[in-house]
Amino acid sequence: MNKYFSVLTLCACQFVLNSSYSAGLSRPVADAASAQQESTAQNGVSSRDTRPQRRYTKPQKGVPARLGYVEELIQGGVLFVPREIASLQWKNSSCNFVINSVEFDPGCILASIGKGVFKEQNIQTAILPDKVISIDSQAFAGCKRLETIRLPNGIKFIGSEAFAACETLERFGPGVDIGQDETTLPSSLTRIDAGAFKGCQKLRNITIPNRVEFIGEGAFKGCTSLHTVVLGQNVNKIQSDAFSSTGVTSIVIPSAVSYIGSCVFKNSPLETMTFEARRPDMELHLCSEMLDGTNVKEIVLSGIVVFDRGVFASTVIEYLDLSQCSRIDTFFESEVPTKRQYLNKRNDASVIQCLNGIFSTSDNNTAKTTNIIPVCRVKFAEGNVWQYNSEKLSWERCPPAP
């Protein structure tokens, strides 16, 4: 009896499903092979379907979440993501489908956008569902027409090069779909990986949320219109080239930052770099050529500072205040590259070696080949001030102030 009842139930469900399709409530998606034949033109590029593309489905209870493949969800250049899709990716990354627009079913439970899903596609706007928490590497890379994207407040991870080379992207954040003009990353975000927004030439300002602790290598490199950057209070590491070749003119470094990579602001018009006061036990590691090609003229540091070789090489710094530092270490001994040396401020030879290393990129700790400007002065604790003599090409202790 139960057996026959199960068969009847299955047939009834199939009948209802077919009737729903006929009534236009939900259009079945063709398999990958037939979809490719239908949408691929002579040159192998999909053509635009002029038929109405909105195919919203009625919310259904008990429908299991599943993985969605782009090839199976695209028709006529429109990618439609049904409600039950939890993760979106390509089944075959070599497919030649063209995506002109993307639509998400109301109530869509999509949580993850996979690697390269929209890479180099033609979309202009993407309003991501509220459930999205992860955008994988190169997900929107090379979308040269992408101007606006809604990033819901639940996003925690933006992968490497996720929005790289989106040359027209200028509006993103949780509220862009309701007309807000903003470039605010979601408050839930915890890290920004390497090259995430590299080459986004129309970005003008960016606010890094307080939960973000890590900014990857080249994250905003080449964002030539980027003039304003506000770093969250919990940023801990800023990797190499993170803001190089941007339009940033001023930056405040929070006290939580413990590491700033090499060339981080290289070739930007940076004029002011302010370090928030640090406790004596808080360490800050500064890497080589951090300010290469910038216009910063004064730096004031505190806490424990660790210098790599050439931190201030090729700069126009006129005044470096280290008087509030509880300890100064260096990492540029040529004979032992990884050896950490404590600067003895009472030992002239130690001071000269440190200063030459900070302003030089050569291996012999000399400043003769560097671009140290004549008025450069360095202040240590207890009123100990040194100045570079451009004629003698050497550092000299300044006489005590009267």
Q: What would the pLDDT profile of 187-199 be if each residue is shown by its tens digit?
A: 999 999 999 999 9
User: Do 367 and 359 meet the contact criterion of CB atoms below 8 Å apart?
Assistant: yes
* Distance between CA atoms of residues 262 and 247, nearest Å: 18
Per the domain annotation, does 327 fall within a domain? no
Query: Measured in whole angstroms, how far is the alpha carbon of residue 125 from the centre of its chain?
Result: 20
Per the domain annotation, does 56 fall within a domain? yes
Per the domain annotation, does 332 fall within a domain? no
pLDDT at 3 over 90: no
Confidence band, pLDDT 50/70/90 cuts, at residue 120: very high
Per the domain annotation, does 395 fall within a domain? no
In a 3-state reduction of DSSP, which class is residue 78?
strand
- Going by the DSSP 8-state scheme, the letter that residue 152 receives in this structure is -
Per-residue pLDDT, 123: 96
Per the domain annotation, does 335 fall within a domain? no
Per-residue pLDDT, 206: 92
Contacts of 125 (CB under 8 A, 6+ apart): 101, 146, 147, 148, 149
Give the mean model confidence (pLDDT) for residues 118-135.
94
Contacts of 311 (CB under 8 A, 6+ apart): 286, 287, 288, 289, 290, 291, 358
Confidence band, pLDDT 50/70/90 cuts, at residue 372: low
* pLDDT, tens digit, 9 for 90 and up, residues 216-257: 999 999 999 999 999 999 999 999 999 999 999 999 999 999
pLDDT at 377 over 60: yes
- Average pLDDT for the chain: 81
Per the domain annotation, does 246 fall within a domain? yes
Contacts of 401 (CB under 8 A, 6+ apart): 383
For residue 39, what is the domain's CATH number?
A: 3.80.10
- Comparison of pLDDT for 35 and 112, the residue scoring more: 112
Per-residue pLDDT, 170: 87
Per-residue pLDDT, 401: 64
* pLDDT, tens digit, 9 for 90 and up, residues 37-96: 444 333 333 333 433 344 444 444 555 678 999 999 999 999 999 999 999 999 987 778
- Going by the DSSP 8-state scheme, the letter that residue 178 receives in this structure is G
Per the domain annotation, does 47 fall within a domain? yes
Confidence band, pLDDT 50/70/90 cuts, at residue 375: low
Domain tally, the chain: 1
* pLDDT, tens digit, 9 for 90 and up, residues 299-355: 999 999 999 988 998 888 999 999 999 999 988 755 445 567 777 667 888 888 888
Per-residue pLDDT, 179: 54
Q: Which domain holds residue 266?
A: 30-317
Per the domain annotation, does 329 fall within a domain? no
pLDDT at 14 over 50: no
| Sheet arrangement for strand 148-150 | 125-127, 148-150, 171-173
